[in-house]
Amino acid sequence: MSSTTASPAPPRAAPAPRAAPAPPPGFVAASYREHERFLWALSYRLTGSAADADDIVQETFVRALERPPARADEPVRPWLTRVALNLGRDVLRRRKRRPYDGPWLPSPIEAEPEPPSFEIPGKDGTEGRYDLLESASFAFLIALEALTPQQRAVLLLRDVFDYSVQETAAALALSEASVKTTHHRARRALEPYDRDRDRCRPTPELVERSGAALVRFFQTLATQDVAAVEALLGEGVRMVNDANGEYKAARRVVVGQDRVARFYLSVSKNWGGLALRSELRLLNGLPALVIERHGPADRLAPRYVVHCDVDPSGRITAIHTVLASRKLTAVRPLASP
């Protein structure tokens, strides 16, 4: 009698993985409306440049359109933030490799929306508003130049935008230990700024004091009152011009009460024939003069912004003048006379 052996049953095929939901139509447009302001605020603080922030935000949403995130059922802001941070760090690395003609200053910007528009947890009170204003101030953005691109990104996420260590690590593709180490080194590099932090926060009192000093300074220059000009300047005052070689400007930082006074008194002698118009505005949280010139070019900047830092007594400790045209893309022209 012959015996038969049953053949083994074929193994079951593994179920095909379920595809992640695809982004719905209009996904990019809706994401732009919801997250554009936040991404711009982050990119501007990361690079110190309004034009670069514009480019980063545009490129972030181009990538979202061409290669959208794989899962439409997950929050999109972390994905957009990662893309913008990668682009911003690339901008900073390129900038450090390229020589810059003269001193570098941040781009002046007009007032930003109130913090709730950014949807940053914990930043909707008065204290949070000052934190956000301070993080866009000239003093803070100049201080950030001492950091590496990685340190700058970590510090902004942790200290300005209230990201946790875990969220920061995910946004920058770092380990949590690396985030903690990088943040510690960034904070240590900013210690000189922290010692003067109370003098940099754009409180109403500082707005009034710095605006009054700036107006008085230009009024005394117009009268060529040497003693009055020097009295408005602190002993270690610094004058920094950023023209990036585009226009005539001092290509080195000028330091000292006497030197800065002599420079401005000499330059201001010719103001009468330059058809200058000016307007005092709040830029980067503090008063600044927007000045326009009409007439023959002769490598003179047609438009520039002057900002000053002041000490508690109202004396000017730094004068920053931004002349490079690419730095002024976020500043409105003066109204027609």
Task: Give the whole-angstrom CA distance, residue 29 versus residue 119.
Answer: 18
- What's the average model confidence in pLDDT over 302-313? 95
Q: Which of 23-27, 120-124, 172-176, 267-271 has the highest mean pLDDT?
A: 172-176
**Structural domain boundaries in the chain:** 27-199, 204-328
Residue 127: pLDDT band (50, 70, 90) is: low
pLDDT digits (tens, 9 = 90+) for 70-113: 766 678 899 999 999 999 999 999 999 999 999 999 999 997 65
Q: How far apart are CA 160 and CA 140, in angstroms?
A: 11
pLDDT of 117 above 50: no
Which CATH code, of 3.40.630.30, 3.20.20.70, 3.10.20.30, 3.10.450.50, is assigned to 204-328?
Answer: 3.10.450.50
Q: Would you place residue 66 in the very low, low, confident or very high pLDDT band (cuts 50, 70, 90)?
A: confident
User: Which one has a higher pLDDT value, 274 or 291?
Assistant: 291
Tell me the pLDDT of the chain averaged across its residues.
87
Of residues 231 and 19, more confidence is placed in: 231
At 131 the pLDDT is 75
Distances (CA, A) of 175 to 167, 185, 186, 187, 328: 11, 16, 16, 18, 38
What does the block give as tokens for 212? 């009054």
Closest CA to 57 of 102, 107, 91: 91
Q: Report pLDDT digits (tens) over 317-331.
A: 999 999 999 999 999
Q: Which of 115-129, 131-145, 155-169 has the lowest mean pLDDT?
A: 115-129
Looking at the predicted structure, is the pLDDT value of residue 202 above 90? Answer: no
Cα 135 to Cα 201, 209, 217, 324, 327, distances in angstroms: 9, 20, 26, 22, 18
Q: Which of 122-136, 138-152, 274-288 has the lowest mean pLDDT?
A: 122-136
Name the DSSP class of 156: I
CATH number of 27-199: 1.20.140.160
Residue 289 to residue 312: CA distance in whole angstroms: 21
Q: Look at 5-14, 248-257, 306-315 and tell me which has the smallest mean pLDDT.
A: 5-14
